[in-house]
Structure 1
Amino acid sequence: MGRRLPPLNALRAFEAAARLGGFAAAAQELGVTAGAVSQQVQALEARLGRRLFDRSPRSLSLTPDGRALTPVLTEALDAMEAGLLRALSPRVRSALAVFAQTSFAIGWLLPRLPRFHREHPEIELRLSTGIDAPDLHGAAPDAVILHGRGPWPGLATHLLFPDRLVPVCAPGWLAARDVGDPRLLANETLLVSDTARGDWEEWFAHAGRRSLRPDRALHFGSSLLPPQAALHGLGVALADIGLVQPELDAGRLVNPVPAVPPLRRGTGWHLAHLPGRGDEAPIVALRDWLLREAQPG
């Protein structure tokens, strides 16, 4: 339903005349003639069906309806002016340097970053990646994404989501094999990250096969590579559900032993920053956005 408002020029003319006490003063403020102001006010009165001014040859005074309308219009026009100034004034962009492990950045953060930029165009996010997080007490990023159990002394941390490790492989690789039991899985090529060599042994123990050890393994120097190798049909990788959810949802990766629940070790992904910076607007914006994005579902 459209707005049923009188013309804005008529409202402005009346408000200026009421506030300034006459048509001549209003005309000077609005840059028109006193006659034009008078005509606009008359048009407004006709539109409303109410007299807003009592006119005499030597005086002009507000009627009760005019006195009631004046503060409403003054407040509305002031709010409109302030809103336009805020909307059209140049925005000061804040730079926010963030470090994240490469696997987290590629598997979880990058697909979501367009939403952060849409919500916070005033923040220039500068993302760096690597394996070992820098020390926040030196010349370092404003915030880091840490992986582990904690605590991290001297840092304020916020858990984003815990690890949930599951085996993953390509559908085509699985179609050619029968590996529905962890015992059978141990006979296949398992993809191992050298940064987490004990994950498979821990997973087999979690699956009730503590004595099993992989017969064949392909080793990679980065935790990012085993899931990528699994996508290409090289074997089975252990992956955090949170980092491969898009591939699982799309069917590019599948869990070959879905009967075994995810391995939870008490570790997870955390946002960390110095405690004294927790009230800074860019860090607050990043923290609140990350926590919303990390919510299940």
Structure 2
Amino acid sequence: MRPRRFLPSISQLLAFEAVLRSRSTTAAARDLNLTQSTVSRLVQTLEEQLGCTLFIRQRKRLIPTEAALSYGADITRGLNLIQQASTALLVNPAGGALSLATLPTFGTRWLAPRVGGFLETHPGIALNFATRVPRFDFESEAFDAVIFFGAPDWPGARHQKLFDEQVTACASPAFLERHPIRRAADLDRLPLLQLETRLTAWDQWFAAHGHRATRAGGMMMDQFSMMIQAAIQGLGVALLPDYLARTEVEEGRLCPILTPGVPGTGAYWLAWPEAKDRHGPLVAFRDWIAGQIAG
């Protein structure tokens, strides 16, 4: 049994979160489509139930206490989990849903073109995607699994290796006409496009070509998709994972430079919380993606 005192109603928590966000019962009432007096009463009964002051009343404003700010962060996470779980149930009332977080460009370039095959062979599973770059806590976000880049060190998770990253330096044909490249040293004077999550990637590429590079200026980006477009527009040389560069190279919009397929700075992994290890849709997805990699 959960003590009733520690289980406020959803109405109380929604009112509290809205007031915490807006610092005003009037604004919170407008957001929730309630009366101001109703919101005030809900917050007051929450304070009475918890035996804790959450807001200090100063004229027409409510100033949250330190306890309220800390409590509010946890309540927001909890409400998000409830909303995500309800959405998943609405999409697939029979159950069998898999919520997957993935890197943006990996999701669009590698996973999306293949995932139709998974859905065809597993018609009872609803697959929900969201993109994430920074790492998150499985306990605070309602994901069953995540695809990420790096090392197998996601806290409290099990890991399945997908593949090592191989990278190729690429530039547009027009850029290479202006700047012929015959050896690694020729890149010293050129703009090298940088990815903020791969800050040592160029160092490793140059080392693989037996050259100690002098740092050149170049645009910094947070996604490979932006880097690809910048390279196509002739803004510099991009260091791209092979699976991302393949389409543009085949279409002639980018040209590989020197040796293709140099080892990158890590690998792509599928990770999931230990508690989800035997979750049916996740087991099916793990088996399917392992077959895609092997193929």
Offset at residue 248 of structure 1 (A): 3.1
2:238 aligned residue: 237
1:6 aligned residue: none
Deviations 1:225-282 (A, max 9, x none): 2123112322211111133333334433321113x651244x1110111223222221
2:179 aligned residue: 177
Equivalent position amino acid for 1:232 in 2: Q
Deviates more, 1:130-139 or 1:183-192: 130-139
In structure 2, C-alpha distance between the alignment counterparts of 1:118 and 1:133, rounded to whole Å: 30
What is the percentage of aligned positions where both structures have the same residue? 29
The 3-state SS of whatever aligns with 2:227 is: helix
Given the alignment, which residue of 169, 186, 189 partners 1:187?
Answer: 189
On the 8 A contact 1:156/1:275 being kept in 2, the answer is yes
1:289 aligned residue: 288
The 3-state SS of whatever aligns with 2:263 is: coil
Given the alignment, which residue of 189, 201, 204 partners 2:203?
Answer: 201
The 3-state SS of whatever aligns with 1:163 is: strand
On the 8 A contact 1:98/1:125 being kept in 2, the answer is yes
User: Which aligned pairs between 1:219-258 and structure 2 lie closer than 5 A?
Assistant: 219-258=220-259
The 3-state SS of whatever aligns with 1:187 is: coil
CA gap 1:290/1:261 in 2 versus in 1, 3 angstroms: closer
On the 8 A contact 2:168/2:257 being kept in 1, the answer is no
Equivalent position amino acid for 1:110 in 2: A
Equivalent position amino acid for 1:257 in 2: L
Note if 1:215 corresponds to 2:216.
Answer: yes
On the 8 A contact 1:195/1:223 being kept in 2, the answer is no
Aligned length: 204
* Unpaired runs of at least 5, structure 1: 1-89
1:29 aligned residue: none
Given the alignment, which residue of 123, 126, 129 partners 1:127?
Answer: 129
On the 8 A contact 2:184/2:211 being kept in 1, the answer is yes
Structure 1 or 2, whichever has the larger Rg, is 1
User: Which aligned pairs between 1:59-208 and structure 2 lie closer than 5 A?
Assistant: 92=94, 94-208=96-210
Deviates more, 1:283-292 or 1:193-202: 193-202
Equivalent position amino acid for 1:99 in 2: A
